[in-house]
Amino acid sequence: MIDRKQEVPHDGPMCDLLWSDPEDANDGWGISPRGAGYLFGSDVAQKFNEDNQIELICRAHQLVMEGFKWHFNETVLTVWSAPNYCYRCGNVAAILELNDKLGRNFIIFEAAPHDLRTGPTKKPQPEYFL
């Protein structure tokens, strides 16, 4: 069992779950260019789904310009919900809705126009940093 209520460590199962990405071009495992996690192919996803008796891995920690992207014959799905990531990527974002029969619907949205955005209010610095 993995305790998911933790800071993400630099290695180990929690790190691998967060930082590993599907690789459409290759099977098996590969080294991730991120420097953490791994790349995994369709065979790895298929075995994971079979071993865990699931049909879909839904993940969210990889930028997808279209808001969502299917991999491996719709057995892995990446959903990205941060439009115009870092205020410079120009991507749209998505939310996946599932109904009670697991029917899927994607809501696609763009970043708010620049003139309608507000920034966070700046909190006063705590005294112990003075």
pLDDT digits (tens, 9 = 90+) for 12-50: 999 999 999 999 999 999 999 999 999 999 999 999 999
Using pLDDT thresholds of 50, 70 and 90, give the confidence band for residue 130: low
Higher pLDDT, 115 or 63: 63
Higher pLDDT, 126 or 42: 42
Q: How far apart are CA 83 and CA 45, in angstroms?
A: 27
Q: How confident is the model at residue 129 (pLDDT cuts 50, 70, 90)?
A: low
Query: What's the pLDDT at 2?
Result: 84
What are residue 30's DSSP bridge partners? 39
Q: Cβ distance 40 to 16 under 8 Å?
A: no
Q: Which residues lie closer than 8 Å to 106 by C-beta, 6 or more apart?
A: 67, 68, 79, 94, 95, 96, 97
**What pTM, to 2 d.p., does this model score?**
0.84
Which residue in the block uniquely carries the two structure tokens 């870092």?
86
* 66-115 pLDDT, tens digit each: 999 999 999 999 999 999 999 899 999 999 999 999 999 999 999 988 88
> What is the C-alpha separation between 109 and 104, in angstroms, rounded?
16
pLDDT tier for residue 117 given thresholds of 50, 70 and 90: confident
Structure-derived torsion over alpha carbons of residues 17, 21, 25, 31, reported in degrees to the nearest 10: -80
